[in-house]
Amino acid sequence: MKFGIIQFPGSNCDQDVYHALADVLGQPVRYIWHKDTTLGDVDCVVVPGGFAYGDYLRTGAIARFSPAMKAVIDHAKAGGLVIGICNGFQILCEAHLLPGALIRNRGLKFICDHVHVRVETTDSPFTNACKKGQVLRMPIAHGEGSYFAEPKVIEQLKHDDRVLVRYCTKDGKLTDAANVNGSLDNIAGICNEGRNIFGLMPHPERASEELLGSDDGRLIFESILQGAAAYQ
């Protein structure tokens, strides 16, 4: 599986994603500069975390218009795999590749901590290596990670089984306390109708090795490796 990681001015998780994919999982990976108009030979695009364009105006608002994102949109519309992590999720929403938006955490504080998320469905190229209901421990690091969408959009997401992960307790319960940023319906990650685009706020690349405190995040990448073919 050939991965391409977009680098915007202000991205800061690109190297962690590279390490997880190339060094830990042994996959071919390349960086894609935000000004590049083509992605190159890539199966799965990663839009990494950070503060693309300094989050100026709105997080992800300017990044979505970069030449590389135009190529990502074409790739996604053709059914190519895209995973947006944290700032990447924000950018995918601004680019309208995913519905809704990420707004300021309800407590207003930037939260940098390990959280638990529950896998709501294994029916996706990104969660098929997990078990339904499995709890994954991954870090979050964001000030604007609260998922918002109009009620009919939330209903559609639920109806289509497109909420892939929700914030939960370590025992897998969906409580308000576990929902540290105030996301609607404890939503931590969603996919599009075609199930080829995934956006999530937690960082699986920072939970791909035991050394970093958890390797649960590895399952997201392993899902892409083992199960993506079924969705192509």
Partner 1 sequence: MKAKIVVMPKKTVLDPQGKTVKNALESMSFKGIKDVRVGKFIEVELAGGNKAALKKKIDKACHDLLSNPVIEEYSFEIR
Active-site residue numbers? 86, 203, 205
Nearest distance in Å: CB 148, partner 1: 6
Q: How far apart are CA 49 and CA 195, in angstroms?
A: 21
For position 94 contacting partner 1 by CB under 8 A, the verdict is: yes
C-beta of 138 vs 180, nearer to partner 1: 180
Smaller CB separation from partner 1, 107 or 194: 107
The answer to whether 61 contacts partner 1 (rule: CB under 8 A) is yes
Nearer to partner 1, 136 or 140 (CB): 140
CB of 59: closest distance to partner 1 in angstroms? 10
Residue 139 CB, nearest approach to partner 1 (Å): 22
Decide if residue 58 touches partner 1 (CB under 8 A): yes
Binding site residues, partner 1, CB under 8 A: 57-58, 61-62, 65, 93-94, 99-101, 103-108, 146, 148-150, 182
